[in-house]
Chain A
Amino acid sequence: GAVVSQHPSRVICKSGTSVKIECRSLDFQATTMFWYRQFPKQSLMLMATSNEGSKATYEQGVEKDKFLINHASLTLSTLTVTSAHPEDSSFYICSAMSQGANSNQPQHFGDGTRLSIL
């Protein structure tokens, strides 16, 4: 089945640091990838939609200058949390769909990145 790899799985860093999270589709090409955020005991919330070769589309309330998304190839999207602060501590999860899949095919998710800002 389709595999989405996310790296790193856990990051602990000081306030003010920028952190890059990678999302890779290992065995398929993904024109579109999605980035979600999940706070403790809450459900996943969509942050942005990442499209290969074009600018990402951000959800209302998500700062595009703080959460930089790059989708430079059909198998890789990156999320960079710039100048991270403790309130950015969360579980970040990406998902992807196969480029060639039928439109009703499911999205596949990475295992998430737990970001802790001290």
Chain B
Amino acid sequence: DAKTTQPPSMDCAEGRAANLPCNHSTISGNEYVYWYRQIHSQGPQYIIHGLKNNETNEMASLIITEDRKSSTLILPHATLRDTAVYYCIVIYPGRRALTFGSGTRLQVQP
């Protein structure tokens, strides 16, 4: 599985868009990009995933660069409840465990 690099922390004002970057320069052709978040003292929550096309769901948008070496998770209107650690994980699909890095600690400020 490709290694990912994320900034350790970010701040965002409530109501503004939160853009969380992830570098995965060694990603292989069939590896997907998954995003999870972990709110304090809870289990990780799935957010979104994609292969090469941009994806959007009710929680967020995922923008993957054309060369697939990096991606950005966008929370369009951050709220205080979005304060969490966000994990970007690159993995081949299948029944395999996820490898969690250090993630990005997003603090949404009122």
Q: Which residues of A contact B (CB under 8 A)?
A: 4, 6, 31-32, 34, 36, 43-46, 49, 91, 93, 95, 97, 102-112, 114
Contacts and interface: CB of A to CB of B under 8 A. Distances in A.
26 contacts: A6-B43, A31-B95, A34-B97, A36-B97, A43-B87, A43-B100, A43-B103, A44-B38, A44-B100, A45-B100, A46-B98, A46-B99, A49-B97, A91-B41, A93-B44, A95-B43, A95-B98, A103-B93, A103-B95, A104-B49, A104-B93, A105-B93, A107-B46, A109-B44, A109-B45, A112-B41
Interface of B: 32, 34, 36, 38, 41-46, 49, 51, 87, 93-95, 97-103
Contacts of B100: 36, 43-45
Given A31-B95, A43-B102, A104 B32 contact: yes
Contacts of A114: 41
Given A44-B100, A106-B34, A97 B44 contact: no
Contacts of B42: 111-112
B87 to A, nearest CB: 8
A92 B85 CA distance: 17
A105 B38 CA distance: 19
Contacts of A49: 97
Given A43-B103, A104-B32, A104-B49, A111 B43 contact: yes
Contacts of A112: 41-43
Most chain B Cβ neighbours within 10 Å, of A43, A97, A110, A114: A43
Contacts of B102: 43
A114 B101 CA distance: 21
A51 B44 CA distance: 21
